[in-house]
Amino acid sequence: MEEIKIKLDEIIKSRKLTSKELAKRINITEANLSILKTGKAKGIRFSTLLNICRELNCQPGDILKYIRRRDDEP
């Protein structure tokens, strides 16, 4: 099974920000930010990703992690 793990919440906390503050800075709703943080989003606009990276001073790879598991792996 493959998946993309979202590490946004960890980075927000490490920057000592609240989700509410980040949502305001990048001009999206707290509800939409929550959907991104929980990995329930079907996609993300590059403009949103750019704004997140700018505000958190990070790279997309700091936020998104690709995980590949084979059927025979635990």
Taken in order of first residue, the domains within the chain and their CATH numbers are 2-68 (1.10.260.40)
What pLDDT does 32 receive? 96
Beta carbons within 10 angstroms of residue 6's beta carbon: 19
What pLDDT does 66 receive? 94
Mean pLDDT per 10-residue interval, the chain, length 74 residues:
92 96 97 95 95 98 91 58
What pLDDT does 72 receive? 53
Six-digit token string for 59 = 């790279």
d(CA 38, CA 54): 20
The pTM (predicted TM-score) of the whole model is 0.86
d(CA 35, CA 17): 17
d(CA 30, CA 12): 13
